[in-house]
Structure 1
Amino acid sequence: MPEAEHFDVLVAGGGAAGVAAAVGARRAGATVRLVERYGFLGGAATNSSVLTFCGFFDQRRNPVVAGVGAEMLERLRRRDVYREMSFAWTGNHFVLLDLETTKLVYDELVTDAGVDVRLHSTLTDATRNGAGEITGVTVHDRGGGRRVAAAAFVDASGDGALLGASGAAAQVAPVAERQTSSLVCRFGGVDPDADLSREGMRAAVAAHNAGGDGPALARDQGITVRLPITGQVLSLVVDEQLDALDPAAFTRDEMSARRQAWRYLDAFRKHLAGWSQAHLVETGPQIGIRESRRLHGRAELTASDVLGARKRPEDGVARCGWPIEDHASPGVTRYRPIEDKGWYHIPYGAITSSDTANLWAAGRLTCADREAFASVRVMGAAFATGHAAGVAAAQFARGHRHDLPAIRAELRRQGALV
């Protein structure tokens, strides 16, 4: 194996949290290596076609994420693909995305910041020293295995690849208690004035299930919107209660999800106005995973923090205004609003490892109880928690270990909302 490369900060995962962490750390003066197992950045937005940025606004439509996340939105505006949308039935306000533009803008963000990026690179192992800190990782690419050493590490991999490889404390809920995963479907050939309403979808699914045409469809409504540029219809209606950490079960359930997608297409063609000539453009390509591992942090975000819109001026490093959106089981989503449709603080301890001093985790790895997790897991919050983790890691690498006032000051300097 080649001699180890050395960086101040190693970031695992190139989604919203990972890109924000890498850019934030680089702008704080650190040398940064970002490793991503896919051939593009973007996380669930691109590898699962979840082409919606949720969590940038509270339910009053006030921005709660700035910094690197806001720069991402501004770059989309410059390319004239920025589009906001709200759902009256939830009050949620989000940003619609174009797939290829999103990939390109992520590339620009890290390149312009001077981040050292390695795509097609899978983290497989990690080493610790006698003090229990991580000293390096092994990353496999098409050329073989490589060692990367760093002073500080951020796990933004979604499934907690670095948590697992290093043995850092993590939480793994029983499969039946995890958020369901959704396979995103993109449909073409849908008439411009086609029915995309919840009521229409419910009627179509009910007609399909009553007709006995194969297995019943569990979900009878979900996010269904027309995308910018392509005009395709994006729909999140295919659910699976899966275990992303069990490869056999994961394979079985992704195959099941793809079969479901074709059954939904059949139901919509037969029973939904404007869908008779529709076709399935693409699924996924990976199912959208909401939950697998989570960090065991120094602090835990709780449901009462979320619902009560708790402000934490002493240790808050990020904000979130997304309500509790609990995908409790296939076809079942429960919403609980934040007090006064506002926002709450995410504490520093929720992104800081309880047992590994130089490890942070962000995005859907944030330490939270079950209900709070159903709020904080969204991409807007991932940008915010990733940004905070990256800045903290950069300061740690320069000898400022968990200096919270300095971390908050640097986040403000970089334009973040804390």
Structure 2
Amino acid sequence: MDMLNAFNQKWAQKFKESGYNLSTEDKKALLTEKNFLLANQQDMQAKQDLWLQHRNMIMQNPNKFDAEEWATHDANYRVSGEYDLVAPPIKARSLDMALEENPINSAAIPGEDIQETRSGIKGVRAVTYGGTEEQGRKRVADMILSDEAYAKDISKQFMALDEATKLQYLDADKSGTISPEERKNFNPIIKWAQDTKWQKGVKQNLSQWRATPGQTQKTSTQGQGTFSKVAELAPGERVGYRTYGGKVYNNPFGLDGSKVLYGIPTAGANILTGEWADAVDPGSVNVRLVAYDPEKKVILAETTSGSESAMTASKVLLEIPQQNIPNFGNIPIIENGTRMTIGQLPQTTTTITETPAQKAMREAKERFKAKK
């Protein structure tokens, strides 16, 4: 607007001074300045249109475009009238997450085993990859080159690295410094991404943890301390036919679950869920007693908290070998009206037969399963 006012004032004065009869030279100058002014106005209008277009695109798709980065260009435009973008800035999208969500999984290539100690027991988990390193590196490069959002993410990650690492990749002429031309080269950044992220581009599979041969499971002294007070437990009594995790327990003893037993080993234990029973990783758990089956020589117990070592959640039912429970033989029970302990049960215990109602229910369930 200032340029337009200056133009109008200048040539109004010229017309007045010439008696409204400009010379040929003045007419040429007038036309030149007029064309310049029109071109400048058109340029300003084009910048405003582009600025408005970008603003609308960002507002309509905030997940695709980077509003925070655009705000800097917006502020500069409002002050200077200059708008230097040809497209709104793309928002960076995590390449790491994209690789992990959809990795190559077309093979089972052995990797380096992971050493892992659980409850003091040394063990190992075997690693396999769903593809080769070459496939993983190609996957990384393809994703970066095909999507500007991934390229931007990688650029940000790379520029946040320490100078020594950046120098290692960008200093092509090994001069010890990074020239402006070298800094513009994107290929070394792709190579860095390939070197550090190719494993995320292929599926990593871990086997179940297995203990190193020759070791024994350590028994928790905390668990032993709890079981030294088993006399405080109410005696368990026969509870009839039961099924847990698809397993049949014929008239086990229901046990007092009022006390938490700590550090119970899970070697040889199973988790009972619905109609399924699955092996539990060797580790230790905190539990409350549920039942004891003298025929199977197992104790059923419910976890009171999650266990990282055994990889179990809270409030799941476990079938635990009786020998895993310290002093399990001192747990009080009542058998045929006589109070005793589990350790006093005869080795050839004859269990009480199912009641007719229990038998009918069991047979009905078995028929239902057979139909399925």
TM over 0.5: no
Higher helix share: 2
Q: If the length of structure 1 is used for normalisation, what is the TM-score? A: 0.17
Q: If the length of structure 2 is used for normalisation, what is the TM-score? A: 0.18
Structure number with the bigger relative contact order (C-alpha 8 A, sep ≥ 6) is 1
Higher strand share: 1
